[in-house]
């Protein structure tokens, strides 16, 4: 492999690393399971992995993969580089020097700000799935609450994104100035509070969407997990 190519790839991709390859294996098995054992819809419940969002799933998938919360984890714990930009020891070595955001991986990750728009665009579909479950049963059921919780947490995670924070508060140098204050300043402050919980929301929303998928699969398998809470 040439020196120029080596400089573009993370070091851990050049050397065996069980954490990296086990992570890739889990993703591959998960994708295979979704395609080999599709559920799609069970009565009035639409599996979030098979809702209309599946038509553009590579885009929200790329949005989550390039999320700052996940980037920190796989750079520090999988690639082990950089371990932390503010640390004296970032994990640099003669064979892998930190180049800021100039190498190929970082350039791809910087597309995150554009994937954000796809992430926002698909949010209404999750609420439509919730509404569909209400209309299908003419009642509020446990499964409907599972879909609603999934939609709300995905919304909170998406809107807490660092890229959203830039859209809300970018291109203004002085927020204490009158011209830069007002409603936009209030929205920025609220989004900044949400942004503090971005990493937690990233992982909780990931677990929620997986739980919603498993819940609907459980119903399809005949498990008695659902009950009516309120009839309309």
Token duo for residue 226: 């659902």
The Cα–Cα gap between 159 and 187 comes to 11
Q: What is the pTM of this model?
A: 0.72
DSSP codes, 27-61: HHHHHHHHHHS---EETTEE-TTTSGGGGGTHHHH
Q: How large a percentage of the chain has pLDDT more than 90?
A: 24
DSSP helix/strand/coil, 229: strand
pLDDT band for position 51 (cuts 50, 70, 90) = confident
What pLDDT digit, counting tens, does each position of 143-166 carry? 999 999 999 999 998 999 888 888
The Cα–Cα gap between 190 and 182 comes to 13
Name the one residue in this structure whose structure tokens are 């819809």. 41
Those residues whose C-beta lies under 8 Å from the C-beta of residue 189, and which sit 6 or more positions away, are none
Q: Is 53 within 8 Å of 125 (Cβ atoms)?
A: yes
Counting every residue written for the chain, the total comes to: 232
Those residues whose C-beta lies under 8 Å from the C-beta of residue 162, and which sit 6 or more positions away, are 68, 195, 198
Residue 88 DSSP one-character state: S
pLDDT at 69 over 70: yes
pLDDT at 6 over 50: no
Domain ranges of the chain: 39-231
pLDDT band for position 14 (cuts 50, 70, 90) = very low
DSSP codes, 125-182: HHHHHHHHHHHHHTEEEHHHHHHHHHHHHHHHHHHT-HHHHHHHHTT-S-TTSTTT-T
């Amino acid at each position: 492999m040439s020196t120029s190519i080596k400089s573009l790839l993370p070091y851990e991709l050049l050397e065996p690393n069980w954490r990296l390859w086990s992570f890739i294996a889990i993703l591959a098995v998960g994708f295979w399971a979704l395609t080999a054992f599709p559920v799609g819809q069970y009565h009035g419940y639409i599996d979030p992995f098979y809702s209309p969002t599946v038509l553009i799933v590579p885009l929200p998938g790329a949005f989550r993969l390039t999320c700052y919360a996940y980037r920190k984890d796989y750079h520090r714990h999988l690639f082990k580089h950089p371990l932390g930009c503010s640390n004296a020891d970032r994990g640099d070595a003669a064979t892998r020097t930190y180049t800021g955001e100039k190498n190929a991986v970082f350039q791809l990750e910087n597309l995150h700000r554009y994937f954000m728009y796809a992430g926002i665009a698909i949010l209404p579909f999750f609420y439509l799935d919730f509404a569909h479950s209400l209309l299908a049963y003419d009642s509020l059921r446990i499964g409907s609450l599972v879909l609603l919780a999934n939609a709300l947490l995905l919304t909170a995670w998406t809107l807490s994104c660092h890229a959203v924070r830039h859209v809300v508060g970018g291109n203004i140098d002085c927020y204490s100035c009158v011209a830069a204050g007002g409603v936009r300043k209030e929205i920025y402050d609220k989004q900044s509070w949400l942004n503090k919980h971005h990493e937690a929301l990233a992982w909780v929303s990931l677990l929620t969407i997986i739980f919603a998928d498993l819940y609907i699969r459980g119903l399809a398998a005949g498990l008695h997990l659902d009950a009516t809470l309120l009839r309309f």
